[in-house]
Structure 1
Amino acid sequence: MKTKFFKYQGAGNDFILIDNRDLSFQYKDNNAVLDLCNRRFGIGADGLMLLQTHETHDFEMLYFNADGKLGSMCGNGGRCIVAFAKYLGIIDIETEFLAVDGPHYAKISAEGDWVNLQMIDIDNIEKDGDAYVLNTGSPHYVLQVTGLKDKDVFTEGKAIRNSDTYKVAGINVNFVENQGDHFFVRTFERGVEDETYACGTGVTAVALSMAQHLKQEGHIETPIKVLGGDLRIQFDYDGSKFRNIFLCGPAVQVFTGEVMV
């Protein structure tokens, strides 16, 4: 059966999106999504999302990692599916949709290419040696480094993700370098099992961790550069809890087509 798909990217984090309000795309096993996300034998993407109807929200986001398995929250994916919902005429400039970690509010530009997505509140950040560990919808490990441009993120990130502490549940590994007026971030993502050009929940975790590390308080805006471009995190921090957290950045439709599924 031919299925229509749309390709979106948010700061280089790319996704396959399918309008599944009629439930025509039937997820049966990991291989269906795995094949579509394959960059040589499929469409190619960091993940796949189904947009589905929901009784109490504008829509539901169902997210699959590139390995074919149902994933935890994806921040850039969330921004892309909001842009997709606007393209389909489901929403205008504001929405509340349901994801795996609960409801999310978002606001999109009139042009439909910039999305501010509200993330879940964070009450605490733990430490693992020099690293910060927290869950921003997905679990993250945040480690400050120098010389990030030349770091072997794949090898070092894979080693941490598969360490005894994190191997079973998995964790996303973020390396961050303070470059004065912004933070530079590179991320090894579980589920993709590789470095991605951006990770929305990852840069959110970085911004919150660095606010705690630098003892910042009040309303904070943190500019972040990733391999795929620029993102911005806005939040309120009282020295203990993080509230009103927004992941802000581009969400762009790249192309559309049909694929045999």
Structure 2
Amino acid sequence: MKMDFFKYQGTGNDFIILDNRKKKIPEEDHSLFTRLCDRHFGIGADGIILIKNDPSRDFYMKYYNSDGKESTMCGNGGRCAIAFSKKLGITKKNKIYFRAIDGDHCGIIQDHGLISLNLIDLEIDMIKISQKYVFLNTGSPHHVLFVKNIKEIDVCKQGRKISKGGVNVNFVEISGKNTLQVRTYERGVENETLSCGTGITASVLAAYETEKISLDKEKNVSISTLGGKLWVSFEKKNNLYKEIYLTGSVQFIFKGWIHI
């Protein structure tokens, strides 16, 4: 069978996006998704995104890691899915509503190729703070470590020890009162990725909750990753982090077809 595909990247986090609104793609064939993500024998990507119909939203986003297994929410993937849905003509508006495994999301298409994604609210009581790390879930589970000399960290070696397949690991260096550098080891990819949207968001909230950073007038925190720059904004109200937005660039790379 011939299958069309589209390749997108969000600050270096790259995805194969498939339009499965007609239900022609075998979603349970995990070996297929592994082959597609293989950078030597397939198309190559950090993950697979399926765009599906949803009865109450513009679309449903289903995400698979490069190991072929369905995973939790992907922030940069969500931003790429927003751009792709606009390309498909699912909506003509620049404000898009979709659903994913963790619930409802809103995406905003801005100028200059920037796309903002609204992530789920986070209860402060659900943030685990210890002397060595912070653990929290921003749609995916994240282990956050604050470090110095982030460029010298062996992210794969250290991240693999902590992750053991169950959690993403973020190494964070504070650059200023509202700026961070973040490197992430992603489960399912089992490697460092150039950027991780939910990991960046988790790193910002962990840094703010432990009073390592403050907000500027625009309530934005700037984050540098290996794949580029992103921004996170949020509100903290009572026992809740809400109005959490992840903003950064998205780029359509190419489209093609492959026999499966």
Q: Give CA-to-partner distance per residue, 1:77-126, whole Å, 9 cap, x none.
A: 00000000011111220111010000101111256x22110000011211
Which runs of structure 2 are paired with 1:240-259 in the superposition (5 Å)? 240-259=239-258
Distance 2:101 2:232 in 1: 21
Distance 2:185 2:207 in 1: 18
Identify the residue that residue 203 of structure 1 maps to in structure 2. Answer: 200
Q: Match of 2:160, as an amino acid?
A: K
1:219 Cα deviation from its structure 2 partner:
7.0
CA contact (8 A) 1:74 1:137 kept: yes
Distance 2:38 2:222 in 1: 31
Identify the residue that residue 51 of structure 1 maps to in structure 2. Answer: 51
Identify the residue that residue 137 of structure 2 maps to in structure 1. Answer: 135
Choose from 157, 174, 180 the match for 1:178: 174
Identify the residue that residue 18 of structure 1 maps to in structure 2. Answer: 18
1:237 Cα deviation from its structure 2 partner:
1.6
Distance 2:238 2:175 in 1: 23
Distance 1:228 1:28 in 2: 31
User: Identity percentage over the alignment?
Assistant: 44
The runs of 4+ residues in structure 1 deviating greater than 6 Å are: none
Q: Give CA-to-partner distance per residue, 1:158-201, whole Å, 9 cap, x none.
A: 00112xxxx5xx00000000112520000000010100000000
1:239 Cα deviation from its structure 2 partner:
6.6
Gap runs ≥5 in structure 1: none
Distance 1:213 1:127 in 2: 8
Matched, 1:4 2:28: no
Q: Match of 2:169, as an amino acid?
A: V
Q: Match of 1:242, as an amino acid?
A: Y
Identify the residue that residue 122 of structure 1 maps to in structure 2. Answer: 122
Q: Match of 1:175, as an amino acid?
A: F
Choose from 130, 155, 158 the match for 2:157: 155
> Aligned residue pairs: how many?
254
* SS of match in other structure, 1:179: strand
Q: Give CA-to-partner distance per residue, 1:131-162, whole Å, 9 cap, x none.
A: 10000000000010001011100000000112
Distance 1:28 1:21 in 2: 15
Distance 1:126 1:208 in 2: 12
CA contact (8 A) 1:6 1:16 kept: yes
**Distance verdict in 2 for CA 1:260–1:51, change over 3 Å:** same
Q: Match of 1:194, as an amino acid?
A: N
Q: What CA RMSD, in Å, does the superposition of the two structures yield over aligned residues? A: 1.6
TM-score of the pair, normalised by structure 2: 0.94
Distance 1:90 1:127 in 2: 42
